[in-house]
Every structure is written in C-alpha cells, then in structure tokens.
C-alpha cells in the first residue's frame, strides 16, 4: 500500500508540488494582472452608468462621450478577460502536462514490489484524474477567486464612495457568508477525499474487468461483475448526494442572507432616493454594483469546494511521488566476460506475504560463466522467484548475489539489466506493432530491417510475420491479443535475440509452442546460448537434457544438482519428473502419428 496519509495537510505541500512542475510564473503573473485589470475595469462601468443617468436627468441630453467611455471599458473588460483566460489555461496545461510527466516517470522507476502492493487502476487514477483536479484549480478556480477578491474590493470602494450607510449592509453580510463557508469547507474536504478514493476503486475494478473480460465470460460472471460495479457506482452516488445535501442545506441560508441584503438596500435606498439624499444615477449604480458583488461571493463556495478537492488530489499525488524509486544509474558499469554468478545464503520472502514464509531459503549456488543451467521442480518451488532476484526485480531478504566476486548491488541497474535477455512465462507484449515490440527498450538508432528479420527467423516467427497484412508493421492490439499465445511467445523470444544479451534468463519460454516449433526454437536457443551464461526454467525433458547443469528445487530449497543421468539415479522427484515427461511425450507422439494417418 501507499505510505500512510498525513492527517495534518499543509498547503505548503501543494506549492512544493506545483514548483516541481516548473510553472510559467511570469506568464501566470501577467495573466493575473490582465485578469485584475479586467475585473477593475468592469467595476468602473456602473460609475459611467451613474454619470450618464444623472447627466440626462439634469440636462435632458444624452452625453455621447460617456457612452463612448462606457463602450470602451466594456470592450476592454471583455477582451482582457478572454486574454487572461487563455493565458491561465496555457499555464494550467503546462503545469498538468509537467505534473503528469513527473508522475509518469515516477511510475516507470518504481520497484516491482510497489506494484505487488498497489492496484494499477488506483495508480492510473492519480496520474489522470487527480492531476486534472489540480489543472482546474490553477486554470479556472484560482483566477476566478482572484477576480472575485478584486471585484469585491473595488466594488466596496465605489459602494462606500456612493453611500457608506448602504455599504455597511453588505459589509455585515460578508461575515455571515463566511460563518457558513468555513464549516462547509471542512465537511466537503472529507467528502472529497472519500470521492477520490471511490473513483480510484472504480478505476481499479473497471481495469480488472476489462483486462480479464474473457475470464468473466468463461465463468459466466457477468452478473457478479455488474453487481460489483454497481456497488462502486452507488457508493460514488451516495458521496455525491451527501455533498449535494450539504450544499442544499447551506445554499438557501446564503440566498436568504442575500435576499435580506438586497431588500434592505432597495428599501433603505428607495427611502433615501425619495428624500433626495441619493440621485437616480447613484441608486442605479449602487444596485448594479450589488449584482456585481453577489456572484463572486456566491462563487466562494465553488472555489472552496475545488480547493478541498485539490487538497485531496495533492495528497494522493504526493504519496506517489514520495515512494522510493529505483536508481537506474547508481553504481559501477558492468562488463560481462563469462564471470561466474554466485548466490550465497540467499533467502527471500515477498513483502505482500502476511505470514512472512520464505519463498527461497538458504540458497547457495554457483553458476559458471558461459554455461547453461536448467531449473527444474514442481510449481511453487521458487524457480521464478530465483529468476526475479537475478533480474534484480527484488533484493534478497538475506544473503547476496555475486558476479566475478563482486556484489551485483554494486553495479548500476541499467548496466546489469542491459546485459540480460529475459523471456517470461507470460511473454508480455505491449500495444503497438510487431516491430515496436521487437525493438522494445533498445536505445540509440533503431536496428536495421535485416537485423529485425534475422531475429524473427531465429525465433521462428518470420514464417507467420511475413504473412500478416502489414508484416512487421501489423498492429497486434492491446497486450498482443490479436496474436495466438505461441505467436506472442515467438515475438518475445525474437525481442530477446535482437537484444543479443550476455546473460539469458528463460522462464518457461517455450511453454506455448507446438512440438515442431519447440524443436526449432530450441535449435535457435542453443545457438544463442552457446558461450553465454543461460538459466532456463523448463518443465520439458528435452530442454533439461540439453543443459550443462540441472538444479532441482522444492519448497524454496535446492535439493539436487548435477547432470541428467546423475540426478535420475540419485533424486527420486527428478526421476518421477523424467518418467512423467516420457509418458507425456509418448502421448503427444501417438497423437501426432494419428493425425498424420488421418491426413493420409
């Protein structure tokens, strides 16, 4: 899970987060000045209206100069408002783009164990939804708040200038507004946090459901998924209803205060107008200014609501950015020259395991450089975990791994992983074309067409790739789902061949290939593993027998090491493994012979 949320949020954290995005402060200041000029210019319009009306009532003539000034100020206020709005959007978009870039970079650099403990939908929500909340504050709400303050200040000046007694009525109303806004803000802050968490949960469930839709349909779990989704949607609605309830309770009180204020001003002002204490123009200007003041005061509620949302979004993004990340460049550069790899007293358990049971226990193993090792054992014996430690996805709980006598932690992650070719049992592909997947992760100039085709041929993928509509540039869909399992696996193997690594880690790399393809890929693998350090997880006897050394694992421990013939004689479980494989191979051979006879 993410690091614990702070109960004492400070707005300093918000400004620290914004400063990381390197905002265009100069442009923001200019936009605020232009916006302020627009707000100030607008407050002069009622004064021109007053002068125009009073001039007409005394002389009976229309004053063209005042009309021109009125029109000029109106146009000026409109244009400056539009320019300020555009500039603030530029600033906001720059902030949110940089913030998303920072969070995206952070996500890429977070260690594997972070993803074991946190859900991808929640992480994505922080990158997309929470950054949008901050954008809305910077681009819209903040400028509106600044304009509201300036409008109230300048309108207050004119109101007191016209009639201080009437102005006092408005001055008394403002603290009454704040009296309701402060407690409302606290309530909305809690509801905003709950809303953002619920939104993240909905994202998580939606992501899981969409990515595993075939599983849902296979187990006819549509109704269960609909129920689960509707519960999340109902929870979001309930929180929204609570927000609406609080606003519904407070808004009538605020409206009542405003109505009382307007009635008082109209009534008292009307009396003063009848007495001759106020001119008609002053009275109209005063009423106009009141309607200038009311919207900003009313919008304070919206601003404080957005402020509380931003507070929650800032906390969630800050939590993500405060997570410890991998330092890819720290350490020495690694030059692999068939050095031995040695695991000394290695024990490991995953941080997600509540019982802290070790997945690996007291592993001591020496892997000779330039030779091939096969990891064999039942499911859950720790083979994949051992590969993950060698890839440095995780650090051992106890013990250390050495290469050439040096702890591999002393080498930079980037240089270590750049020497490794890794093909997992999931044969993971990304959205895009076959070409993009094969050259995935390669830096510098892209490899030539010839090299890519050669890698495909080595992985026996070219036969089906060249028949596709666009060849290497064929789009394979999300996670390569437009290809079969075997095809995805061959693309993953071709990617490893193109990387031309010094150390090869294969985790069930040929699991989804038919017998003929498996033989062909094995032949290619024997070529690439020649004179390289290779560690292969395999359940097929053909793969195991071609290895220089065999390591048998059970319950996180190494229980046997040696050659095929040696282990078959001395290790009971390995002997059973060989027997099962021979029987399985015989069944497969019989099945293929039957198919051939049927064809003939």
Query: What are the pLDDT tens digits along the chain (600 aa)?
Result: 565 555 555 677 788 888 888 888 888 889 888 888 888 888 888 888 888 887 777 776 767 788 888 888 888 888 988 898 888 888 888 888 898 889 888 888 888 888 888 887 788 888 888 888 888 887 777 777 777 787 888 888 888 888 888 788 777 777 777 676 667 666 776 777 787 778 777 877 777 777 777 667 766 777 888 888 888 888 888 888 887 787 777 777 777 777 787 788 788 788 888 887 878 888 888 888 888 877 777 676 667 777 777 887 888 888 888 888 888 888 888 887 778 999 999 999 887 655 556 688 899 999 998 888 999 988 888 888 899 899 998 999 899 999 988 999 999 998 888 888 888 766 678 888 989 989 888 877 888 999 999 988 888 888 888 888 889 998 888 777 788 777 888 888 888 888 888 898 887 666 656 667 677 667 767 777 778 898 988 777 777 877 889 999 998 899 999 888 888 888 888 888 888 776 665 555 445 444 544 444
Catalytic-labelled residue, pool 391, 508, 518, 520: 508
508 catalytic, yes or no?
Answer: yes
Burial 308-330 (b: 16+ CB within 10 A, else e): bbbbbbbbbbbbbbeeeebeeee
Identify the pLDDT of residue 587: 53
Closest CA to 150 of 45, 43, 55, 302: 43
Q: Which two tokens stand for residue 576?
A: 């059973």
Question: Do residues 484 and 460 lie in contact, with contact meaning Cβ atoms separated by under 8 Å?
Answer: no
Going by the DSSP 8-state scheme, the letter that residue 531 receives in this structure is T
**What's the N-to-C CA distance of the chain in angstroms?**
60
* 442 vs 497: CA distance, rounded Å: 12
Identify the pLDDT of residue 598: 47
Identify the pLDDT of residue 355: 53
Q: Which two tokens stand for residue 164?
A: 């201080």
Q: Residue 468 contacts by C-beta under 8 Å, 6 or more apart in sequence? A: 434, 474
DSSP of 218-252: HTT-HHHHHHHHHHHHHHHHHHHHHHHHHHHHHHH
Question: Do residues 88 and 23 lie in contact, with contact meaning Cβ atoms separated by under 8 Å?
Answer: no
* 40 vs 24: CA distance, rounded Å: 24
Question: Do residues 302 and 388 lie in contact, with contact meaning Cβ atoms separated by under 8 Å?
Answer: no
Q: Which residues pair with 533 in a beta bridge?
A: 503
């Amino acid at each position: 899970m993410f690091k614990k949320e702070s109960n004492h949020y400070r707005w300093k954290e918000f400004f620290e987060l914004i400063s990381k995005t390197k905002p265009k402060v100069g442009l923001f200041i200019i936009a605020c000045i232009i916006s302020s000029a627009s707000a100030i210019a607008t407050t002069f319009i009622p004064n021109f209206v007053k002068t125009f009306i009073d001039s007409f009532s005394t002389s009976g003539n229309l004053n063209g100069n005042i009309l021109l000034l009125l029109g000029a100020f109106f146009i000026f206020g409109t244009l400056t408002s539009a320019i300020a709005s555009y500039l603030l959007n530029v600033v906001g978009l720059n902030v949110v783009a940089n913030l998303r870039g920072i969070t995206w970079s952070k996500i890429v650099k977070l260690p594997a164990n972070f993803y074991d403990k946190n859900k991808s939908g929640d992480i994505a929500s922080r990158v997309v939804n929470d950054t949008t909340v901050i954008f809305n504050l910077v681009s819209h709400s903040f400028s509106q708040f600044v304009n509201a303050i300036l409008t109230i200040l300048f309108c207050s000046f004119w109101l007191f200038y016209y009639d201080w007694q009437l102005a006092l009525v408005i001055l008394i109303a403002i603290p009454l507004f704040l009296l309701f806004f402060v407690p409302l803000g606290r309530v909305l802050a809690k509801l905003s946090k709950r809303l953002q968490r619920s939104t993240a949960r909905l994202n998580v469930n939606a992501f899981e459901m969409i990515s595993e839709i075939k599983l849902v349909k296979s187990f006819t779990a549509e109704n269960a998924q609909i129920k689960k989704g509707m519960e999340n949607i109902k929870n979001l609605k309930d929180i929204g209803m609570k927000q609406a309830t609080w606003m519904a309770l407070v808004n009538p009180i605020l409206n009542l205060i405003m109505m009382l204020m307007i009635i008082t001003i109209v009534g008292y002002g009307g009396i003063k107008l009848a007495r001759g204490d106020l001119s008609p123009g002053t009275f109209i200007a005063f009423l106009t200014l009141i309607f200038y003041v009311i919207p900003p005061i009313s919008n304070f509620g919206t601003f404080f609501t957005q402020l509380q949302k931003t507070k929650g979004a800032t906390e969630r993004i800050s939590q993500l950015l405060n997570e410890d990340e991998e330092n890819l460049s720290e350490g020495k550069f690694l030059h692999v020259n068939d050095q031995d790899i040695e695991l000394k007293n290695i024990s490991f358990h995953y941080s997600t395991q509540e019982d802290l049971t070790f997945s690996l226990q007291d592993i001591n193993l020496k892997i000779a450089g330039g030779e091939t090792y096969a990891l064999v054992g039942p499911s859950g014996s720790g083979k994949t975990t051992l590969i993950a430690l060698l890839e440095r996805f995780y650090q051992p709980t106890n013990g250390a791994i050495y290469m050439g006598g040096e702890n591999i932690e002393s080498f930079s992650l980037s240089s270590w992983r750049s020497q490794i070719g890794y093909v997992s049992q999931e044969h993971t592909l990304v959205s895009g074309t076959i070409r993009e997947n094969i050259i995935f992760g390669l830096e510098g100039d892209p490899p030539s067409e010839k090299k890519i085709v050669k890698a495909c041929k080595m992985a026996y993928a070219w036969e089906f790739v060249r028949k596709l509509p666009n060849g290497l540039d064929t789009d394979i869909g999300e996670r390569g789902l437009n290809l079969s399992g075997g095809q995805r696996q061959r693309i993953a193997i071709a990617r490893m061949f193109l990387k031309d690594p010094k150390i090869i880690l294969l985790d069930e790399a040929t699991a989804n290939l038919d017998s003929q393809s498996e033989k062909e890929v094995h032949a290619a693998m024997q070529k690439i593993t020649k004179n390289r350090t290779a560690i292969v997880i395999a359940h097929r006897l053909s793969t195991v027998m071609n290895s220089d050394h065999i390591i048998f694992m059970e319950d996180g421990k190494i229980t046997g090491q040696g050659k095929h013939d040696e282990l078959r004689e001395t290790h009971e479980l390995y002997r059973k493994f060989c027997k099962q494989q021979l029987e399985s191979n015989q069944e497969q051979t019989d099945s293929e012979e039957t198919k051939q006879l049927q064809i003939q």
